[in-house]
Amino acid sequence: MPMKRIIVHWTAGTHTPNGLDRTHYHRLIDGEGRTVTGVDIAKNAAPIQPGYAAHTLNCNTDSIGVAICAAAGATENPLNFGKYPPTPVQLTELIRVVAVLCQRYGIPCTRTTVLTHGEVQAHLGITQRGKWDLKRLPGIAGSGGDWLRAEVKARLDAGI
């Protein structure tokens, strides 16, 4: 099935996926870097099917949703990642999972096709409700989305 983009989220929960999280995303990565499968990606392919993963407001069709389990209580201003910050192993696994999905579905790694939920409003022009998922990441200067795309591209260039 043709999928057009990958949108990366955090659950705004703990480092462990809960039952509700599993209904909202296609892949979830826990705090120890283990990937859990959520909803079947095919359900989000147009025409969208009952039980699809509702991960991004008005942008679920043909969109794969990948989430890191993190960021409960995190705030953007002032920047505070809270008690469950994204972990290094989780981000390493995120890069791998996104690269594999890019390759499997033939999705190019561009700012409109691989993006964080925090970038959806700016990059796709689809209004979101104050989402800042992965706009910033611990220990990473600048935009989390730019960093993620660079890492995914490097992975793809290296043949994953």
Q: Which stretches of the chain bind Zn ion, using CB under 5 A?
A: 9, 117, 133
Kindly state the helix (H) or strand (E) to which residue 50 belongs, with its residue range. none
- Whose Cβ is closer to Zn ion: residue 18's or residue 103's? 18
- Whose Cβ is closer to Zn ion: residue 117's or residue 155's? 117
Residues across the chain: 160
How far apart (Å, rounded) are the C-alpha atoms in residues 133 and 125? Answer: 16
- Whose Cβ is closer to Zn ion: residue 21's or residue 133's? 133
The answer to whether 147 and 155 have CB atoms below 8 angstroms apart is no
State the nearest-atom distance from the C-beta of 9 to Zn ion, in Å: 3
State the nearest-atom distance from the C-beta of 131 to Zn ion, in Å: 5
Kindly state the helix (H) or strand (E) to which residue 76 belongs, with its residue range. none
- Whose Cβ is closer to Zn ion: residue 16's or residue 156's? 16
Farthest-apart Cα atoms in the chain, separation:
41
Question: Side chain identity at 72, as an amino acid letter?
Answer: A
State the nearest-atom distance from the C-beta of 89 to Zn ion, in Å: 21
State the nearest-atom distance from the C-beta of 126 to Zn ion, in Å: 13
In eight-state DSSP terms, residue 44 is: G
Angle subtended by helix axes 88-105 and 144-157, to nearest 10: 60
- Whose Cβ is closer to Zn ion: residue 62's or residue 156's? 62
Residue from 143, 118, 129 nearest 7 by CA: 118
